[in-house]
Amino acid sequence: MTNTIVVGVDGSPAASAAVEWAADDAARGNAALRIVHVREQWGDGAPFHAMPGFEDSLSEYCDGVVAAAAARARQRAPGIEVETVLARGAVVETLTGEAERAEEVVLGSRGMGGFAGLVLGSVGMAMAGHAPGPVVIVRGRRQHVFGEIVVGFDGSPGSEAALEYAFDQARARHARLRVVHAWQTPVFSPFALGYSDLMGDVFRSQAELFQQRLDPWKGKHPEVTVAGTAVCEHPTSALSDASRDADLVVVGSRGLGGVGSALLGSVSHGVLHRAHCPVAVVRPRPDR
């Protein structure tokens, strides 16, 4: 696997924001940037396809999409290596293949404000659930840099892959890393005695276990400033709230093989829809 970042483009403002994010990340990581535009073939058999000049016009548009993206990337991060790819086929299938050979895939969100701002495009959702490795969804442009990366961690293999990626991002950005461990309150009988004492014990137990799991990671990455946050709250809400003051929020995907590998967990799905900053969904790679 080469040190390459792939960004998918379609000429939209959201894709332009993704190009800028990917160019910045390529510059930080001394990586090459591969800009991919996929021309779907659904329209090849349509009646208007046979109209004189249609094929040339469509090809000119596709060429313009990748040329504009490449120009934006070079302007954003002078000196990075930029490659452009025009492909034909299914978008998700093509980008998933690209993901197998890349460090990460970056895409724009479909959100345009209002209720649409809560809806992720179908390509981004499918990629976040299927693609190996990190998939970053960029929601618009943020002018303010907070200097903090947020990651959700529960000790599972998926969250460990997310934590490793988050440490890499924090180190490259010289940023703080906030590790959030959130859990929901257990259900007790309303007639249970000593409820408050029991809840206190549960909280202390969860917080201690979280710190025990986190300490080895701190020792492995001493150059990164780490803050651990343990809260009794739904993970989606905790991570979405933390994203307000973050440059990136990182979550693990639920994929465990088979049909599950095609699905996002409820937390990653919820954070993708509610976060206030770019979101990286990280699936463990089979070869790691």
Q: Where are the domains of the chain?
A: 1-141, 142-282
Residues 215, 134: contact at Cβ < 8 Å?
no
Cα 166–chain centre separation? 11
Which of 284, 285, 277, 283 is closest to 137 using CA atoms? 277
CATH no., domain 1-141: 3.40.50.620
Stretch 49-76: mean pLDDT? 82
Query: Which CATH number fits the domain 142-282, given the four candidates 3.30.420.40, 2.40.50.180, 3.40.50.12370, 3.40.50.1470?
Result: 3.40.50.12370
In this structure, what are the phi and psi dihedrals at residue 168, rounded to the nearest 5 degrees?
A: -60, -45
Higher pLDDT among residues 119 and 202, named by residue = 202
Q: Do domains 1-141 and 142-282 have the same CATH topology?
A: yes
Do residues 6 and 98 lie in contact, with contact meaning Cβ atoms separated by under 8 Å? Answer: yes
- Closest by CA to 132, choosing from 155, 158, 153, is 158
Q: Enumerate residues 6+ apart whose C-beta is below 8 A from 236.
A: 266, 267, 270, 271, 274
CA torsion through residues 200, 202, 203, 204, sign: positive
pTM of the model: 0.85
Q: What residues pair up with 231 in beta bridges, in sequence order?
A: 182
**Residue 134: per-residue pLDDT:** 95
Rounded to 10°, the helix 266-274/235-242 angle is 30
Task: State how far the Cα of 106 lies from the Cα of 7, in Å rounded to an integer.
Answer: 5
Query: Has residue 185 got a pLDDT over 80?
Result: no
Q: Is the pLDDT of residue 284 over 90?
A: no
* Amino acid residing at 263: L
**Is residue 253 within 8 Å of residue 218, measured between CB atoms?**
no
Q: Which residues of 175-188 are buried (b: 16+ CB within 10 A; e: fewer)?
A: bbbbbbbbbeeeee
Amino acid at 242: A
Answer whether residue 226 shows pLDDT above 80. yes
Give the pLDDT band of residue 51 (cuts 50, 70, 90).
low
Q: Name the token pair of 115.
A: 């209720």
Residue 262 clears pLDDT 50, i.e. is over it: no
Span 68-125, pLDDT tens digits: 999 999 999 999 999 999 999 889 999 999 999 999 999 998 733 333 333 467 888 8
Output the pLDDT for position 200: 65
Q: Which two tokens stand for residue 231?
A: 């809260």
Q: What is the pLDDT of residue 199?
A: 61
What is the C-alpha to C-alpha distance for residues 194 and 201, in angstroms, rounded to an integer? 11
- 53 pLDDT band, cuts 50/70/90, is low
- The per-residue pLDDT for 195 is 56
Q: Please count the CA atoms within 13 angstroms of the CA of 244 that sit on its side-chain side.
A: 4
More confident residue, 119 or 252: 252
Which phi and psi angles does 16 have, rounded to 5°? Answer: -65, -40
The residue with greater pLDDT, 128 or 190, is 128
Q: What is the pLDDT of residue 43?
A: 52
Query: What are the tokens at 29?
Result: 């990581």
